[in-house]
Amino acid sequence: MNDKQKDMLRKLASLAGLLLLILAFSISNDYFFTLNNIMTIGLQTSTIALIGIGATCVILTGGIDLSTGSVVALSGVAAAMFVNTGIPVPLGMLGGILVGGICGYANGIMVTKMKLPPFIATLGMMMVARGVALYVTNAAPVSGMPESFSYLGNGALFRIVEEGANGLPLVKFPGIPYPVIIMIVIAVLFTFALNKLRVGRYIYAIGSNEEAARLSGIKTNQVKNYAYIASGLLSGLAGVILASRLVTAQPNGGVAYELDAIASAVVGGTSLMGGVGTIPGTLIGSFIIGVLRNGLNMNGVSAFIQQIIIGLVIIVTVSIDQLRQSKKK
């Protein structure tokens, strides 16, 4: 069995797990498999998927990014503060995304130029980004943005609203949330980049054997920088979307998002050893986590128990990956 067949097998196993979860929750709760709840799951999962795609790019190179959650918070705060200074909303949001990209670039420089272990470099950035977000806001939420700031996070394509019998608006079709559309577009673009572009092949080569990649002429430091910048930009995008959804930027937001990002990648078949993983797999992993959280919530399961269950899922998934790696050796 070649590597492509193994990747396909992993994706099919993850997809089968997702379908089983959907079936189980549909049986346990009549409201789970409804159009409104499906759109809700898509909206909630879009943030996890975006940061998970960024984490996948980094993990494929053999690295790790622990700063994701803090960058999400800082980017949302930056976008809100830019808009409150009078900058047009689209430009303010773009500024927030660029702040995320700068954090990712700093991570890449620390890993490639300063030769810091990725764990230490991104752990430091996690603390710095969170500290900056808290300092510039004095630990208070940023609000007061115009109504248009909420369109990105709360708008939906093809939404149908009619006037009800009581004169109040009646939603006939909730529409496809804009964050879900963005998630799909980003997933398609990164899938294309990793599979068809030279930089994508280089990312896989570095994760498989960095020294061999370097000796073959690949500028390994430059490619690793691209991966960390991508992770930062996607964290920034997720932060802006989250701030838009809440119409408030929380400097304390995004806590433990880095764990969701890593979990979605690992559950979707990405190896923590590097060189193995796909964006579609990460997307499936994101939805497994999203469906788990939504279904457990609808069935009244405690948030503490949810953490235990998701933690066990991650442990089992990583254990299977480690067994697979040991068999290769």
Backbone phi and psi for residue 101, each to the nearest 5 degrees, phi listed first: -65, -35
In a domain, 22, yes or no: no
In a domain, 19, yes or no: no
Domain count, the chain: 1
DSSP state of 148: G
In a domain, 23, yes or no: no
In a domain, 199, yes or no: yes
**Residue 96 is part of a domain; what is its CATH number?**
1.10.3470
Backbone phi and psi for residue 114, each to the nearest 5 degrees, phi listed first: -85, -10
In a domain, 13, yes or no: no
Alpha helices in 138-177 (DSSP H): 151-154
In a domain, 287, yes or no: yes
Segments forming the whole domain that contains residue 87: 29-158+169-322
The three-class DSSP label of residue 31 is coil
Single pTM value for the model: 0.93
Per-residue pLDDT of the chain (329 residues; tens, 9 = 90+): 556 666 677 778 788 888 999 999 999 998 999 888 999 999 999 999 999 999 999 999 999 999 999 999 999 999 999 999 999 999 999 999 999 999 999 999 999 999 999 999 999 999 999 999 999 999 999 999 999 999 999 999 888 887 777 767 777 778 899 999 999 999 999 999 999 999 999 999 999 999 999 999 999 999 999 999 999 999 999 999 999 999 999 999 998 899 889 989 988 889 888 898 999 999 999 999 999 999 999 998 898 898 898 888 888 877 877 776 666 65
pLDDT of residue 57: 96
In a domain, 187, yes or no: yes
Secondary-structure percent of the chain, ordered helix, strand, coil, rounded to 5? 75, 5, 20
The three-class DSSP label of residue 289 is helix
Element (H, E) at 101: helix 89-112
In a domain, 11, yes or no: no
